[in-house]
């Protein structure tokens, strides 16, 4: 019996468990803070009431309304999006065997942004709404469609005799992002002040618009896609040695590749469509996990879900509180919190020669 | 039995392999030698089902190789590439464990196999070391342990290991070590196919020897029978002298220095 190997497996479980507990604490804390401070006792009671317990206990009515209609949908969306971005980044980095990869590389974010700016600037000409609730609904839908079209186009262009050539895929992704950048630039050239502002805020990310309706649309995808990515953890480990090597070890490389790219595109596309572009999480969280612990994807993937959710929940707390009653764009905060932390870790890892 | 019959493979109009047939027996060490660009690596990749041959067929244990799924095939043949880049900081042990990817064996059984395979490849001391910090030779031995772990299980059917110049860039002690482990592996009902760069090593370790030149088999057979001056000179377009080493009881060659400093190898007149 080998003690070290058994220990490492139970240690992984402990890491994931600890992250889960920390995330839970962060969620509860997040529910208490904001323009209206809600004591933790009220938060607990309201949560338990939703589960059908403590039905008879009375709580502050306003607290209940704020929780029900604002904070709960928001925290749910935050957790789902953070997790989806984290695990998509981890899976794509593993698949491309490149630690610099982030979800935008396969064209998702670029396609979404291009479609969104087109609707914001030129939507009026096609009788699309440009304000109000209809606009709020159209924007996510358009972002999702744009992301999906761009990804499918990149995949199609990168396939060669039925195989996806990763080197070509990266180049096509770069070209696709440049093209989307050109569309965005051109649209901005024609945009007026107001449209410019709308688009700028969209690119910085925004969790403020969370509603139960959005949660219901997003939740199935943002739960199922990450869960299905977890299934590929072992195949991703084998792919770390290279595609030919993974095939030698029994991985059906082409199918695995296609599944991981489509699942990631789906998760990121839906996330971007719900909250705008939130950078950084998909790139950095998987690295943090690898540097802090080890690169086995059976740990990295689940830990990236929890880590991504944790970073986004913490960032959201900061975004909502520092300039109360206004709100900072969430993308600004994730980068402000994540980047220095990441640089510190890189310096440490460099010293230990682990990069 | 692992047989390749009449394999041809072309890239656009250039023939890389031309009607190559090769037979790999369980329990035997088969080596392929040939000049750079002779098609050795392509042959290995076709044999591994990584490339589809233009014509010809590879049959493994009585069944055409393209009828195996990736998973099924991986249980009876493992491949060691020339070198492997790993982008993330896996430990040596985690790399070896990847060899167990396709197997449904228990964690405990896998643990035991990982340890035994690492011991056999002489890397059991590096188990917790980060793969990225190992030297070239240590990395290659860890990869070798991974390949061994993949075909470790005692099965009723024979298994095979394909090695693509496994000792390129290793020092002589490491080279000898890898090849002697490869020979030991044969005793486990495993057939070994290795592309070997060093002719003296090829004849020292191999049971069967194939000479490959420009995609054609020049000579094949019992290693010591086909290890002749004329076969070597024809395959490599280089004059050699053949000697016998009484210590190893094994033939060896020393290449001749070109008299004129003429580097136009193709036009060397062979006598």
How far apart CA A183 and CA A186 sit, in angstroms, is: 5
Residues 46-105 of A with CB under 8 A from B: 94, 97-99
Model confidence at B270, pLDDT cuts 50, 70, 90, reads low
- Residue A7 neighbours by CB under 8 Å, 6+ apart: none
Closest CA to B179 of B41, B193, B211, B47: B193
Does any CB of chain B come closer than 8 Å to the CB of residue A167?
Answer: no
How far apart CA B253 and CA B209 sit, in angstroms, is: 15
Check pLDDT > 50 for residue B160. Answer: yes
Helix, strand, or coil here: A83?
Answer: helix
Q: What is the CATH number of domain B1-76+155-236?
A: 3.40.50.300
pLDDT per 10-residue tile (average), chain A, 355 residues:
60 92 94 85 83 73 83 93 94 82 78 85 68 67 83 82 74 89 89 82 77 85 94 93 90 90 86 81 89 91 96 92 84 84 79 64
- Specify burial of residue A254 (Cβ count, 10 A radius: 0-12, 13-18, 19+): middle
Phi, psi dihedral angles at A109 (to 5 degrees) = -65, -45
How far apart CA B2 and CA A335 sit, in angstroms, is: 56
CB contact at 8 A, A154 and A107:
yes
Give the tens place of pLDDT for each residue, B55-89. Answer: 999 999 999 999 999 999 999 999 998 877 888 88
Does any CB of chain B come closer than 8 Å to the CB of residue A224?
Answer: no
How far apart CA A187 and CA A177 sit, in angstroms, is: 15
Check pLDDT > 60 for residue B268. Answer: no
Does any CB of chain B come closer than 8 Å to the CB of residue A248?
Answer: yes
Identify all chain A residues contacting B78, using CB atoms and an 8 Å cutoff: 248-249
Identify all chain B residues contacting A99, using CB atoms and an 8 Å cutoff: 87-88
Q: Closest to A353 (Cβ–Cβ): which among B71, B75, B133?
A: B133
Closest CA to A280 of A140, A81, A119, A32: A81
ipTM above 0.95, yes or no: no
Q: Pick the residue from chain A with its C-alpha nearest to B143.
A: A241
Does any CB of chain A come closer than 8 Å to the CB of residue B74?
Answer: yes
More confident residue, B255 or A211: B255
Identify all chain A residues contacting B153, using CB atoms and an 8 Å cutoff: none
CATH of the domain at A143: 1.10.3470.10
Report domain extents, chain B: 1-76+155-236, 85-153
Q: Cα dist. A149→A143, A203, B105 in Å?
A: 10, 19, 42
DSSP class of residue B161?
E
Chain length of chain A: 355
CB contact under 8 A, A5 and B95: no
Q: What is the nearest CA distance from B69 to chain A, expressed in angstroms?
A: 8
Q: What is the nearest CA distance from A345 to chain B, expressed in angstroms?
A: 15
Give start and end residues of each alpha helix (H) in chain A: 3-32, 40-50, 61-66, 72-96, 108-122, 132-158, 166-190, 193-204, 212-231, 233-239, 243-248, 253-275, 281-292, 297-321, 330-351
Q: Pick the residue from chain B with its C-alpha nearest to A292.
A: B89
Does any CB of chain B come closer than 8 Å to the CB of residue A348?
Answer: no
CB contact at 8 A, A328 and A354:
no
Q: Cα dist. B102→A126, A139, A250, A282, B96 in Å?
A: 54, 44, 6, 29, 13
A179 CB neighbour count, 10 Å cutoff: 16
Give the tens place of pLDDT for each residue, B168-227. Answer: 878 898 899 999 999 999 999 999 999 998 999 999 999 999 999 999 999 999 989 999
More confident residue, A59 or B261: A59
pTM here is 0.85
Interface test with A, best of B88, B96, B131, B144 (most A CBs within 10 A): B88
Whole-number pLDDT of residue B271:
44
Boundaries of domain holding A115: 3-351
Interface test with A, best of B70, B71, B133 (most A CBs within 10 A): B70
Q: Closest to B50 (Cβ–Cβ): which among A4, A9, A244?
A: A244
Whole-number pLDDT of residue B265:
55
- The first and second tokens of residue B208, run together, are 């069967």
Q: What is the nearest CA distance from B17 to chain A, expressed in angstroms?
A: 20
Identify all chain A residues contacting B130, using CB atoms and an 8 Å cutoff: 354
Q: Number of residue pairs across A and B with CB atoms under 8 Å? A: 96
* Number of domains chain A contains: 1
CB contact under 8 A, B107 and A98: no
Q: What residues are paired with B20 via a beta bridge?
A: B7
Interface test with B, best of A95, A249, A255 (most B CBs within 10 A): A249
Whole-number pLDDT of residue B31:
95
Q: Closest to B78 (Cβ–Cβ): which among A234, A248, A252?
A: A248
- Specify burial of residue A10 (Cβ count, 10 A radius: 0-12, 13-18, 19+): exposed
Does any CB of chain B come closer than 8 Å to the CB of residue A4?
Answer: yes
């Amino acid at each position: 019996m080998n003690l070290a190997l058994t220990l490492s497996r139970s240690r992984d479980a402990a890491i994931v468990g600890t992250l889960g507990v920390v995330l839970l604490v962060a969620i509860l804390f997040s529910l208490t803070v904001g323009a209206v401070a809600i004591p933790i006792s009220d938060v607990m009671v309201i949560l338990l009431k939703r589960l059908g317990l403590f039905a008879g206990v009375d709580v502050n009515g306003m607290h209940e309304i704020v929780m029900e209609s604002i904070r709960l949908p928001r925290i749910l969306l935050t957790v789902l999006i953070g997790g989806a971005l984290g695990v998509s980044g981890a899976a794509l980095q593993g698949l491309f065997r490149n630690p610099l990869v982030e979800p935008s590389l396969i064209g998702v974010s670029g396609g979404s942004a291009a479609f969104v700016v087109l609707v914001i600037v030129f939507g009026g000409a096609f009788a699309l709404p440009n304000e109000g609730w209809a606009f709020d609904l159209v924007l996510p839908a358009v972002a999702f469609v744009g992301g999906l079209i761009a990804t499918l186009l990149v995949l199609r262009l990168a396939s060669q005799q039925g195989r996806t050539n990763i080197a070509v895929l990266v180049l096509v992704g770069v070209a696709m992002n440049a093209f989307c950048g050109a569309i965005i630039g051109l649209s901005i050239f024609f945009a007026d002040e107001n449209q410019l502002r709308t688009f700028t805020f969209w690119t910085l990310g925004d969790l403020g618009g969370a509603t139960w309706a959005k949660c219901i649309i997003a939740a199935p995808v943002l739960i199922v896609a990450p869960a299905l990515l977890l299934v590929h953890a072992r195949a991703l480990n084998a792919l770390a040695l290279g595609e030919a090597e993974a095939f030698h070890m029994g991985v059906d490389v082409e199918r695995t590749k296609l599944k991981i790219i489509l699942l990631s595109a789906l998760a990121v596309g839906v996330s971007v469509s719900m909250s705008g572009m939130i950078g950084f999480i998909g790139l950095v969280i998987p690295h943090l996990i690898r540097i802090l612990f080890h690169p086995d994807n059976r740990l990295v993937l689940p830990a990236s879900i929890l880590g991504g959710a944790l970073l986004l929940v913490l960032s959201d707390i900061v975004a909502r509180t520092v300039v109360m009653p206004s709100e900072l764009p969430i993308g600004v905060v994730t980068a402000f919190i994540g980047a220095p932390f990441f640089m510190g870790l890189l310096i440490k890892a460099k010293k230990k020669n682990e990069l | 039995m692992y047989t390749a019959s009449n394999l041809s493979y072309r890239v656009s109009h250039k023939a890389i392999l031309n009607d190559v047939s090769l037979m790999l027996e369980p329990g035997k060490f088969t080596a392929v030698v040939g000049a750079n660009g002779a098609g050795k690596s392509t042959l290995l990749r076709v044999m591994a089902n990584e490339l589809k041959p233009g014509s010809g067929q590879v049959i493994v244990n009585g069944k055409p190789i393209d009828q195996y799924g990736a998973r099924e095939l991986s249980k009876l043949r493992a491949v060691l590439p020339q070198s492997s880049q790993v982008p993330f900081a896996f430990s040596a042990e985690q790399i070896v464990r990847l060899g167990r990817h396709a197997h449904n064996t228990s964690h405990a059984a896998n643990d035991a196999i990982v340890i035994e395979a690492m011991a056999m490849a002489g890397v059991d001391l590096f188990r917790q070391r980060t793969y990225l910090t190992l030297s070239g030779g240590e990395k290659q031995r860890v990869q070798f342990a991974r390949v061994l772990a993949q075909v470790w299980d005692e099965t009723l059917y024979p298994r095979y290991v394909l090695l693509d110049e496994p000792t390129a860039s290793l020092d002589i002690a490491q080279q000898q070590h890898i090849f002697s482990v490869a020979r030991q592996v044969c005793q486990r009902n495993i057939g070994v196919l290795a592309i070997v760069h060093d002719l003296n090593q090829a004849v020292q370790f191999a049971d069967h020897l194939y000479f490959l030149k420009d995609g054609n088999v020049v000579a094949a057979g019992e290693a010591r029978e086909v290890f002749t001056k004329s076969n070597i000179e024809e395959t490599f377009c280089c004059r050699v002298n053949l000697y016998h080493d009484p210590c190893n009881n094994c033939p060896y060659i020393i290449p001749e220095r070109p008299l004129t400093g003429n580097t136009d190898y193709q036009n060397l007149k062979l006598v």
